[in-house]
Amino acid sequence: MQASVTPFDLPLLASSLAALSGVGPVTAKRLAARGIKTWGDGLFFLPARYQDRRTPTQVQALEEGRLAVVRGRVVSGGLLGKKGKVYRLFLEDATGRLACLWFRFKRAHLESFSPDDELFVVGEVSLGNKGEAQMIHPELYRAGDVGPDHPSVGRIVPVYPEVEGVGAGTVRRFMGELVQRSTELIFDPLPGLLPKDIYPMPAAEALSKAHQPNHDATPQDLDPDQAAWRQTLAMNELLYFELGLVLKRRGREASPAQALDPPGKLLAGLLAALPFSLTPGQQEAVGLIQGDLARSHPMGRLLCGDVGTGKTVVAAAAACLAVEAGAQVAVMAPTEVLARQHLATLSRYLEPLGVSVALAVGGGNGADQAARLAAAQGGAQALVGTHALLGQKLSFANLGLVIIDEQHRFGVHQRLALAAKAKSPHLLVLSATPIPRTLALALAGHLEISDLPERPQGPHKVGTMALEFEHRKAAVDELSAVLGRGEQAYVICPLVEASDKIEAQDAVATARNLARYFPDQRVELLHGRMEGPEQQEVLGRFRSGESRVLVATTVVEVGVDVPEATLMIVLGAERFGLSQLHQLRGRVGRGVKRGRCILVAGPNPGDLAQQRLAVLAKTVDGREIAEADLHLRGPGEAMGERQSGLPPFKVARWERDARQVPRLREIIAVWLKEDPELAGEKLAPVKKEAIRRWGRRLGLAEAG
């Protein structure tokens, strides 16, 4: 595994926490189990809240239920009652008497306090039987030991999230040492370059305020959601990320690429052969792509369009341009099913124009592999495939354009691997919209975005209904009705096979049950663990109508086009992202008949499920749905942490900080205007840091 990058340019932050006093091997291990291993990790293990222990409260003024510090003199102490299970210490100040009680205690320790000893006690105030103030299991400190730097008294004390097996006091102590030994060494070039409201203080100060609030901290400083230190740390992360994206884009714009600027005969041929004319959105996209390809720098374009907006034709148009200019085109799809669907469509468009199209999917025997290789090395002008296109052995004769149909399944890494197959191929990424605007900016920060706003056949209306688990029988009734009319249906399950851990409907059992329930209908099963050829056979029988019900996992999410399929039932629907469900239902009602989608929640759907599924019943707008999901669940869950491709930020939260990103971008744009190479005294360190943090992950040339 690649060593992780320290959060700031300070090698010391890669040190193990075990190097701090008070962190023995056992504590280190327990911290590591929480992912807290290095000093850098420790600095970003931030307090969840704070306790205000600045000033002692007089006994008379104690309030029930609140944490308080009391300074007083011991009056008396001793075991209570006959059994001696409780130890009580009375403390007194000028205003009253406080009882401190222990149910678990080290007797010798408590007996070491004698009358007239001056103590500080810290604890939550409760009321005794007679309404007198008391504290149960308070912390005790001798007044003589409490100096100005005491970690627990006379200050605001951070409360860290609990770490199993590591005491709160231990955490506070070593974090104190960590902050003291490291923050001063953190160099931050950003203050002075960013306005105060964006970036209120240097990162070092932010970290030390987070862990050790000043004595004069305001309530806002002590709210980890509102504090200026949080703003600073979040912007520190976002700024470098955004700058990384800008550098990425500039790198691409500066690198040479094969200009693909043919007369356009193939494209004209393609358009002439289409049974329809392009929508305005498609026309615009094709025009932009044509312009991009003609330049001697690589295109980087993201084409966003909801299911059914006609992205494939646009991709075919791009392929025509590249091929006519003498280059090869690679088209990569997330699943073999989709790759084959693309192969069929693209062959239909391109082969009549004399363009050779070949398939490259994984597996197969030696002969298949040799065929792939031959195709790549010049035998085919367009190669359609899965991740097999990334195979080390596959080298292309003259790859000029890479088209990735991604349905948010490929991460940045895969994109880069394919892009590395040619010096700098032109890149076109297709995405079935549901990337919310705010996310699209982050995910595709280095790509130009084109939208296909309209569906050529008008909005795809699929009547959608959400059912609770107890009412699932209604879905079976509907299925029965659909089959009775001679139509077909999909039943989608979240899992292939039952698992003990996850209680969700599995495809294997569902297919078995439905086959039993509908003995005179052919029910078939399709899932990603089946071999490619077997999948093709199953799909073929469904397409031809030989089988009537297709029970499947999400392999059908994309690329299956069966006009007679009018019903989609999704089991365990809450387990899918809304956008994913939206894409799924786009599979039905593609013929003349209207489609219908029934979302059946699992037995324990959770609180949000109903609300989320209701969104789908209400709207057909993919973007609106994606925004709603983002809003309800945050980007990680809404899109799948890995699928979202979002970088793991430590402090920044996309849903709350994204609105500041446009300003960061403006600021970066101004920097670049003033100092295009970011080589000046002020900006060089910022550029260096962006490359240090993001160079490898974003594949920046400068990262070496």
Number of residues that bind ligand ADP (CB under 6 A): 13
589 touches ligand ADP by CB under 6 A: no
User: b/e map of 386-395 (b: 16 or more CB within 10 Å)?
Assistant: bbbbbbeebe
CB of 636 to ligand ADP, least distance (A): 26
Tally Cβ neighbours within 10 Å of residue 633. 16
Binders in 593-612 for ligand ADP, by CB under 6 A: none
Residue 120 bridge partners (DSSP): 71, 141
Cβ proximity to ligand ADP: between 140 and 317 the closer is 317
Sequence-distant (≥ 6) Cβ neighbours of residue 93 within 8 angstroms: 58, 59, 70, 71, 72, 73
Supply φ then ψ for residue 85, to 5 degrees: -90, -10
Give the shortest CB-310-to-ligand ADP separation in angstroms: 3
Q: How far is the CB of 352 from ligand ADP (least distance, A)?
A: 15
**x-or-dash pattern for ligand ADP, window 256-295, by CB under 6 A?**
--------------------x-xx--x-------------
Beta bridge partners of 701: none
Is the distance from CB of 393 to CB of 373 less than 8 angstroms? yes
Give the Cα-Cα-Cα angle 82, 87, 93 (nearest 5 degrees). 130
The binder of ligand ADP chosen from 158, 262, 305, 334 (CB under 6 A): 305
Q: Which is nearer to ligand ADP, 309 or 566 (CB)?
A: 309
Which lies closer to ligand ADP via its Cβ, residue 340 or residue 693?
Answer: 340
Question: Nearest distance from residue 290's CB to ligand ADP, in Å?
Answer: 17
Helices (H) and strands (E) in the chain, counts: 23, 21
Segment 406-465, which members bind ligand ADP (CB under 6 A)? 456
The 3-state DSSP class for residue 681 equals coil
Query: What residues numbered 312-351 form the site for ligand ADP, per CB under 6 A?
Result: 312-313
CA distance 417 to 411: 10
Nearest CA to 421 among 393, 449, 386? 393
DSSP string, 463-487: EEEEE-GGGTHHHHHHHHHHHHTT-
Tokens of 426: 């032109």
Of 154 and 305, which has the nearer Cβ to ligand ADP?
305
Q: CA distances (Å), 251 to each of 424, 690, 699, in order? A: 10, 14, 10
Stretch of residues binding ligand ADP (CB under 6 A), selected from 191-199, 223-231, 301-309, 438-446: 301-309
Cα–Cα distance, 340 to 556 (Å, whole number) = 12
Pattern 459-488, ligand ADP, x by CB under 6 A: ------------------------------
Distance in Å, CB of 280 to ligand ADP, minimum: 9
Task: Give the CB-nearest residue to ligand ADP.
Answer: 310
Near ligand ADP by CB under 6 A, which window of 98-106, 311-319, 417-425, 599-607? Answer: 311-319
Out of 17, 121, 307, 402, the residue judged to bind ligand ADP by CB under 6 A: 307
Closest to 362 in 3D by CA, of 335, 329, 338, 342: 335
Q: Cβ closer to ligand ADP: 37 or 585?
A: 585
Nearer to ligand ADP by C-beta: 183 or 279?
A: 279
And the tokens for 424? Answer: 């700098």
Q: How many CB atoms lie within 10 A of CB 618?
A: 12
CB of 313 vs ligand ADP, minimal distance in Å: 5
Which residues are within 8 A (CB) of 473 and not within 5 positions of it... i.e. 6 or more apart? none
| List 311, 342, 527, 548, residue binding ligand ADP (CB under 6 A) | 311
Least Å from the CB of residue 452 to ligand ADP:
7
**Member of 310, 494, 595, 602 binding ligand ADP (CB under 6 A):** 310
Instruction: Return the half-sphere exposure (C-beta side, CA atoms, 13 A cut-off) of residue 181.
Output: 16
Q: In angstroms, what is the minimal distance from the CB of 697 to ligand ADP? A: 29
Helical residues (DSSP H) of 351-400, grouped into ranges: 366-374
Q: Is 64 exposed, middle or buried (0-12, 13-18, 19+ CB in 10 A)?
A: exposed
Element (H, E) at 75: strand 67-80
Q: How far is the CB of 559 from ligand ADP (least distance, A)?
A: 8
Residue number with CB closer to ligand ADP (206 or 270): 270
Contact (Cβ atoms closer than 8 angstroms) between residue 503 and residue 491: no
Task: Give the residue, chosen from 15, 309, 464, 554, that forms a contact with ligand ADP under the rule CB under 6 A.
Answer: 309
Task: Closer to ligand ADP by CB, 203 or 403: give it.
Answer: 403
- Least separation in angstroms between residue 385's CB and ligand ADP is 17
Q: Do 116 and 90 touch, CB atoms closer than 8 A? A: no
Alpha-carbon Rg for the chain in angstroms: 32
- Contact yes or no for 207/183 (Cβ under 8 A): yes
Name the residue among 445, 429, 435 with its Cα closest to residue 332. 429
Please report which helix (H) or strand (E) contains residue 240, including its range: helix 228-254
CB of 282 to ligand ADP, least distance (A): 6
When binding is defined by CB under 6 A, the residue of 158, 298, 308, 400 that contacts ligand ADP is 308
Q: Which is nearer to ligand ADP, 158 or 310 (CB)?
A: 310
User: What distance lies between CA 417 and its chain's CA centroid?
Assistant: 21
355 in contact with ligand ADP (CB under 6 A): no
Stretch that binds ligand ADP, among 61-69, 91-99, 300-308, 524-532 (CB under 6 A): 300-308
For residues 377 to 406, the per-residue mask of contacts with ligand ADP, x marking binding by CB under 6 A and - elsewhere, is: ------------------------------
Distance CA 304, CA 626 (A): 13
Q: State the minimum distance, in angstroms, from the CB of residue 308 to ligand ADP.
A: 5
Residue 677 · residue 233 · CB < 8 Å: no
Least distance from ligand ADP to the Cβ atom of residue 677, Å = 40
Question: In this chain, which stretch among 88-96, 122-130, 306-314, 328-336 interacts with ligand ADP, using CB under 6 A?
Answer: 306-314
Q: Which is nearer to ligand ADP, 203 or 331 (CB)?
A: 331
Residues that bind ligand ADP (CB under 6 A): 276, 278-279, 282, 305, 307-313, 456
